[in-house]
Structure 1
Amino acid sequence: MTTSPTRPLVEPRDVPLEEFPASPLGTEGMHVLTADPTPRYGSAVLGVEYARKSGRALHLQVLLPPVRPGSTERFPLVVYVQGSAWFEQRLGQELPALADFTRRGYVVAIVEYRPSTVAPFPAQVRDAGSAVRFLRRNAERFHVDPERVVLWGDSSGGHTTVLAHLTDGDQEYGDEPVDAEPLALRCAIDYYGPSDISRMNEEPSIQDHVGRTSPEGMLIGGVDVLENPELVRPTVAMNHVTSTPRRPPLLVVHGSKDRIVPFGQSVLLVKALQEAGQPVTFYRLEGADHAGPAFWTGDVLDVVDAFIRENL
């Protein structure tokens, strides 16, 4: 049975919101609020494939700041490398905190790298570089200003960040032509990353760092760390520190009671950078363990935010 319309049909017409008529309809007792169209939250583009390597797809989780529909506005890009002891990453681990960070006016892209069980070092550094280059090529799609890019990582992601930062321009650490597509970072942030995997058990820790099945052993192919110095050597951040070229500024933040990556790992890195005359800023987070909410307070993120803005 067909029901005839009670009112004449209105032909669809594509018009902007300001020209679209407000409905004249209503009911008795209806409440009215005035709409405020100001964007308050960003959006997420999940599962963006940026490369295929070692027989698997690698993805980005891209978090956008609040933007009006149809906006062509561009924002600085923060590429975040999630820590995982170089194993399979939980890409949602810091996603809520980073989504909140987008409200400060950044696009944030969380990088999936190949785990050490699939590809040993330097695969993770190469993947971070591939992600940066992909995002630059797709800057318009993700509202990115390709001239303002920052790399930030925690734990093994901090190690990956620092190595990418220090080896920019070295083809050994890039899967794309590095001369044609340099990372050209404005700055980098290292949250409690290892700097010398052969020296981590020189300080108190709650896990082994030298055995062949340890995270560090797996990073270099599932072998004993102390028995394979030739494999360890390129993973050591200080071995890539030179006085020239001048590298972009690095911010290092590390907890004084880190039970996984000893605090001294950051001391080694910062001292080497200082001796080479490279720009570095170091914060000791008193009483903080490895990772956790202490690194995502407003005060700490204010430090990160100010550091980024100073170098954009």
Structure 2
Amino acid sequence: MRIEPRVLSYKEFPASPAVAEGMKVMPLNPDAVYCSVLHNHPYCEREGRRLHMHLILPSQHERPDKIWPLLAFIQGSAWRQQNLDANLAPLSFVARQGYAVAIVEYRPSDIAAFPAQVQDAKTAIRYLRKNAGQFNINPEQIVIWGDSSGGHTALMTGITWHDQQLDTDLYNEYSCQVKGIIDYYGPTDITKMNEGHSRADSPEGLLIGGLDVLENPEQAAPTIIMNHIYEETDIPPILIIHGNKDRLVPFEQSVLLYNDLKQKGKDTEFYKLEGADHGGPDFWSDEVLDVVQAFIHRL
């Protein structure tokens, strides 16, 4: 007798009774998270240049519509052209812990000076809120995270969410406010960097339009994080992690930020990573990521 084929749901489909000698049985983990990557997804166009993001999107067995907290990651690049793949591998591991991750591209400084990078990051957060349903993102649980120059942009984006002078009107029906900021060894005051970082052709000089930083204090001032922190203004909690042997961004840059935040009564945590240089595997160890997750969970 011929049986007509029919489509069965996962619950309706019977488990196979077949056995094999020596076969081992593994139980199903219903909480296992699988991640897929959407490369170079466009989110806006600025001055004829299309900007993209990589999206690391988790999914779970039998829960395809679960919504996930979002980590918007700003990749460090000395404010130049970013390599969005640079931390794709460790961020994919982070995503498996139950987060959607967006690695956000901004306009590089040789094309657009400050505050273009901050404007683009804010636009990306608004775009992700607008399309939260498409990506199964929880629009109320967004944290911004960045390393090095990306840390600077993450701080500036999260702290100045209300500042229209550092923003544009694209997707402005959606908020760019975030729940928290994670700063990995970001510069905070470009007028107090190492020798050679004030020239017009340095990363800091290019950030302000190819000008000498020390000779142009009016152009440098808006890039200084502490100049945007006020006692009367609400800003998200901030986690700072910095190595005390950083040869590129002095550890003192994070000390300046932390002391200013504490003086103004802001919610902040600061971790000195003993012996760590500028980036690398030290910042993606289980111990450091445990600190990051604990910070996110308390927001």
> Does TM, scored on the shorter chain, surpass 0.5?
yes
- Name the residue aligned to 2:203: 215
- Name the residue aligned to 1:310: 298
Q: Does residue 1:258 correspond to 2:227, yes or no?
A: no
Q: Which segment drifts farther, 53-62 or 120-129? A: 53-62
- Report the CA distance between 1:109 and its aligned residue: 0.7
Greater gyration radius: 1
Residue 225 of structure 2 contacts residue 257 of structure 2 at CA under 8 Å; is this kept in 1? yes
Secondary structure of the corresponding residue to residue 135 of structure 2 = coil
- Report the CA distance between 1:42 and its aligned residue: 1.4
* Offset from partner CA, 1:49-74 (integer Å, 9 cap, x none): 11111211111111122423662111
- Name the residue aligned to 1:195: 188
- Name the residue aligned to 2:225: 237
Q: Does residue 1:98 correspond to 2:96, yes or no?
A: no
- In the alignment, which of 48, 51, 65 is matched to residue 58 of structure 1? 51
Secondary structure of the corresponding residue to residue 172 of structure 1 = helix
Unaligned runs of 5+ in 2: none
Q: Aligned equivalents of 1:71 and 1:91: distance in 2?
A: 26
Q: Report the AA paired with residue 223 of structure 1.
A: L
- Name the residue aligned to 2:158: 165
Number of corresponding residues: 298
Q: Aligned equivalents of 1:259 and 1:67: distance in 2?
A: 41
Secondary structure of the corresponding residue to residue 44 of structure 2 = strand
Secondary structure of the corresponding residue to residue 141 of structure 1 = helix
- Name the residue aligned to 1:4: none
Pair 1:21–1:280, CA change in 2 (3 A): closer
- In the alignment, which of 9, 24, 30 is matched to residue 16 of structure 1? 9
Identity %: 47
- Name the residue aligned to 1:135: 128
Q: Does residue 1:155 correspond to 2:167, yes or no?
A: no
Residue 35 of structure 2 contacts residue 58 of structure 2 at CA under 8 Å; is this kept in 1? yes
- Name the residue aligned to 2:113: 120
Pair 1:255–1:30, CA change in 2 (3 A): closer
Q: Which segment drifts farther, 229-238 or 171-180? A: 171-180
Secondary structure of the corresponding residue to residue 201 of structure 1 = coil
- Name the residue aligned to 1:107: 100
Secondary structure of the corresponding residue to residue 140 of structure 1 = helix
* Offset from partner CA, 1:270-297 (integer Å, 9 cap, x none): 1111111111111111100001110000
Residue 196 of structure 1 contacts residue 236 of structure 1 at CA under 8 Å; is this kept in 2? yes
Secondary structure of the corresponding residue to residue 253 of structure 1 = strand
Q: Aligned equivalents of 2:22 and 2:271: distance in 1?
A: 56
Unaligned runs of 5+ in 1: 1-6, 203-207
- Name the residue aligned to 2:37: 44
* Offset from partner CA, 1:104-143 (integer Å, 9 cap, x none): 2111111011110111100000111111111111111111
Instruction: List aligned pairs for 1:283-302, cutoff 5 A.
Output: 283-302=271-290
Q: Aligned equivalents of 2:21 and 2:256: distance in 1?
A: 70
Q: Report the AA paired with residue 243 of structure 2.
A: G
Secondary structure of the corresponding residue to residue 46 of structure 1 = strand
- Report the CA distance between 1:25 and its aligned residue: 10
Q: Aligned equivalents of 1:197 and 1:166: distance in 2?
A: 17
Residue 65 of structure 1 contacts residue 106 of structure 1 at CA under 8 Å; is this kept in 2? yes
- Report the CA distance between 1:23 and its aligned residue: 8.2
RMSD between superposed Cα atoms in Å:
2.4
